[in-house]
Amino acid sequence: MSGLKRTAIWITLLALVLKLSGFLRESIIARQFGANEYTDGYLLAFSFITLVIAMISGGFNNVFLPLYVKNRKEHEAETEKNANGIMNATVLIFFVLTIVGYFFVPDFVPFIYGAMTPNTEKIAVEITQFFFLFLTAIALNGILDSYLQARRVFVPSQISKLLATLMGAVFALLFSDQWGINSLAYGFIVGTLMGTALQLFYLQKSEFRWSPTLKVEKDFRSSFIVLLIPSLLNSVVGQINMFVNKMFASGTIEGAVTYLNNASLLVSVPHAIYGTTIAAIIFTLLSEQVEQQKKFQDTFFMGMQVSLVTLMPIAVGLGLVGQAAISFVYEGGAFTKADTHNTYLAMLYYLPMIVTQGLQYIVSKSMYAKGKTSTVFRISVTTILLNVLLNWIFVKPFGYAGLALTSSVVSVYFLAVSTIVVYRDFERGEARRLASLIIKVIIPTAVMAVPLVILNEFTPIADWHSIIQLAILIPLGVGFYAVGLYVFYREAFQQLLRTVRKR
């Protein structure tokens, strides 16, 4: 366990660097290009990349990891051969999709997104075609992440993600005058290829030996396919909701897709760091403890506890300092104060997702660890209809910001139903334990929020420069929350303190 904790420290630091690189890239985009039809076109094209990443990191990994861990304990040699076959077959499938998809991009991009401005459509089609040329490499990069995680090798995957993000920022900074918005796509692909090479090196170093085979043992193949189909469908459901949101957004105002993207980026930071670090390790532990009910329950609760204790105050705090944070990251150059305000409106409606996504990660991963991929799919597929319905209801009174509100409501629904399903398999006292946890975290969060609200309302701090606001409000918020946690939930406070002292 101490080895996992050390790894968690490293990958948490790398995740922070990754997010800082993401902000650097988005800041460069905002200052170089602003929020307009060109940035909208790029973000619409990049949605297809997030689809592939979701299919691999979600659909593929959620099935492969538990199955690989389970079978490797009993039949190591056969499992390694099966892993080779699965990897090669998946890469081959994406190679075919690369060839076929490239020629159909000019047809399906306008079909999916509907009404776009001519410039937005032109940029979206051109960049999507470029991305499709490297679809196989992008898929392989995600597959290698799954294989390394299954072998408890976490750091190279984080570095690989960092390279893709960082090179996008570097290319935008150096070559935006020559290549325009396309420079972001070129940099992303260069970084992805570098990350793929790095992960291949470390996979070989972990004693995994690649072989050119498509053969997979019948039982392993059958189990994998039976679980993979609903898992992939589930990952696609999330992307369908995303495509629906962007379709609605492209029909509102110029820059709406960019406003939603910039707002969601800020909101996704806590979950992205948590989901790629601590939660990834918790998923590995859940996969290993699936046959030990008591340990499984305790690990699950630990994941929920860490999520709530860290993410709830972040969500509330970001609501209070969000406009200053957006101004600091994006404002300047072509990105105006009006763009900052429009982004902040969307961010406010996204805030509940900071908490719900963190909790959902643990809830869903526990079901994947137990092989309940079809259950996750049946729940998530209902979100498509709910998402479309709420978008239609909210977009008229709230505009593009209503799409963010829809995402939050759907996220709360998904979490509530999934949690009920999970707790049916647990002892009855576990549900009360969770309810008690929620109350214990709400109180110190309120202790943090009230003084900050008073400070914003009755002092001129809101008129100061964004970096000064952040420098004052963030440390104060951390201090107030620490005091509230110590007084009202000392068990969690002492647990966090012990972890810091040990490291």
pLDDT at 276 over 50: yes
Percent above pLDDT 70 for the chain: 89
Cα separation, 132 vs 138, in Å, equals: 9
* pLDDT averaged over every residue in the chain: 82
Reading the block at residue 325, the tokens are: 């944070």
| Average pLDDT of span 72-98 | 85
| pLDDT band with cut points at 50, 70 and 90 for residue 87 | confident
> Quick check: 12 pLDDT over 70?
no
More confident residue, 322 or 75: 322
Alpha helices in 180-292 (DSSP H): 182-205, 218-250, 256-276, 278-288
Q: Is residue 285 scored above 70 in pLDDT?
A: no
Separation of alpha carbons 146 and 140, rounded Å: 10
Percent of the chain with pLDDT over 90: 21
Nearest to 40 by CA among 347, 257, 244: 257
Is residue 53 predicted with pLDDT exceeding 50?
Answer: yes
User: What is the crossing angle of helices 135-150 and 182-205, to 10°?
Assistant: 40
d(CA 151, CA 206): 8
Residue with tokens 């300092």: 321
pLDDT number for residue 143: 84
| Token pair belonging to 445 | 């969060």
For residue 499, the model assigns a pLDDT of: 45
502 band by pLDDT with thresholds 50, 70 and 90: very low
Q: Dihedral through CA 405, CA 407, CA 410, CA 415, nearest 10? A: -110
More confident call, 356 vs 63: 356
The answer to whether 273 and 19 have CB atoms below 8 angstroms apart is: yes
pLDDT exceeds cutoff 70 at 2: no
CA-to-CA distance for 27 and 441, rounded, in angstroms?
Answer: 33
* Residues forming beta bridges with residue 332, ordered by sequence position: 335
- What local confidence, expressed as pLDDT, does residue 410 receive? 92
More confident of the two residues 223 and 333: 223
Closest-CA residue to 57 (of 263, 272, 257, 353): 272
Is the per-residue pLDDT at 404 higher than 60? yes
Which burial class, exposed, middle or buried, applies to 413 when counting CB atoms under 10 A from its CB (0-12, 13-18, 19+)? middle
Q: Tell me the per-residue pLDDT of 417-472, one tens digit each, with 9 for 90 and over.
A: 988 888 888 877 788 888 888 999 999 999 999 999 999 888 888 888 888 999 99
Concatenated DSSP letters for 123-165?
HHHHHHHHHHHTHHHHHHHHHHHHHHHHTT--HHHHHHHHHHH
pLDDT tens across 31-40, in order? 778 778 888 8
What is the pLDDT, as a whole number, of residue 1? Answer: 46
Is residue 96 pLDDT above 60, yes or no? Answer: yes
Q: Note the pLDDT of residue 492.
A: 76
Contacts with 119 (C-beta within 8 Å, 6 or more apart), sequence order:
37, 38, 41
Picking from 17, 254, 281, the residue whose alpha carbon sits closest to that of residue 117 is 254
Q: What is the pLDDT of residue 176?
A: 83
- Place 238 in a pLDDT band, splitting at 50, 70 and 90: low
The rounded distance, in Å, linking the Cα atoms of 142 and 157 is 9
The SS3 assignment for 335 reads: strand
The pLDDT assigned to 14 comes to 66
- End-to-end CA separation in angstroms for the chain: 13
At 214, give phi and psi (nearest 5°). Answer: -110, 5
What b-and-e string marks burial along 437-457, b requiring 16 or more CB atoms within 10 Å of the CB? Answer: beebbeebbebbbeebeebee
Residues 172/32, Cβ–Cβ less than 8 Å? yes
Span 12-20, average pLDDT: 67
- What is the pTM for the complete model shown? 0.69
Structure tokens, 265: 């980026």
Whether the predicted pLDDT of 274 surpasses 90: no
Task: Give the pLDDT score at 500.
Answer: 46
pLDDT at 223 over 90: no
State both tokens at 388. Answer: 């479309």
Q: What are the structure tokens assigned to 173, written together?
A: 């900074």
Number of residues that this document lists for the chain: 503
Closest CA to 55 of 234, 279, 276: 234
Please, what's the largest Cα pairwise distance for the chain? 69
Specify the 3-state DSSP secondary structure of 425: coil
Q: Are 149 and 65 in contact (CB under 8 A)?
A: yes
Strand partners, 335: 332
Which band of pLDDT confidence, cut at 50, 70 and 90, is reported for residue 277? Answer: low
- Contact indicator for 67, 216 with CB cutoff of 8 Å: no
In the block, residue with structure tokens 């997979």: 216
pLDDT bracket for residue 406 (50, 70, 90): very high
The tens digit of pLDDT for each residue in 163-197 reads 888 888 888 888 888 888 899 899 999 999 999 99
Quote the CA–CA distance of 367 and 255 in Å, as a whole number.
Answer: 38
CA distance 61 to 175: 35
CA 421 vs. chain centroid, Å, equals 23
* Mean pLDDT of the region 8-15: 63
Higher pLDDT, 386 or 275: 386
